[in-house]
Amino acid sequence: MILLKKRHEQKLDLTDIDVIESAAIESGADMEQFKKDLPDINSIQEIGESHIFASEELGAFGVPTFHFESGQSTFLKMFIPPEEESASMFTSLMEVMGTFNYVGEMKRPQPPWPLGVV
């Protein structure tokens, strides 16, 4: 979530090491371990393989993409909901996209979306 906010809300460059380090600090990461892992080519390779698997095998093309036991995947384009609505929104999404395999896409016309949201 921290990286999403830095990229999409603050419009920061995620290739900037200072941005990545500040996200690690904000997340409470073990900074000593983080600095050891950052230049590790095996970590970079693992992330690359994970990305290829997610995009080619699961159909992921954005964050967040949810993958369900049914084999279906769903990308969700949204704004961050109010905290008090987050759990019910998540439960509703899981119900619709995890259960009903015949739902291919739900989309609000643009504009006016996100009318009244931001």
pLDDT in tens, 83-111: 999 999 989 988 888 888 888 887 777 77
- Alpha carbons 100 and 72: distance in angstroms, whole number: 10
Do the beta carbons of residue 103 and residue 97 sit within 8 Å? yes
The pTM is what? 0.62
Whole-number pLDDT of residue 22 = 96
Tell me the DSSP string of 18-85. Answer: HHHHHHHHHHT--HHHHHHHTT-HHHHHHHHHHHHHHHHHS---SSSEEE-TTS-EEE---PPPPHHH
Q: Residue 72 contacts by C-beta under 8 Å, 6 or more apart in sequence?
A: 97, 98, 101
pLDDT in tens, 66-86: 888 888 888 888 877 889 999
Query: Quick one: tokens of 93?
Result: 């999404």
- Alpha carbons 74 and 17: distance in angstroms, whole number: 30
pLDDT in tens, 38-49: 889 998 899 899
At residue 118, does pLDDT exceed 70?
no
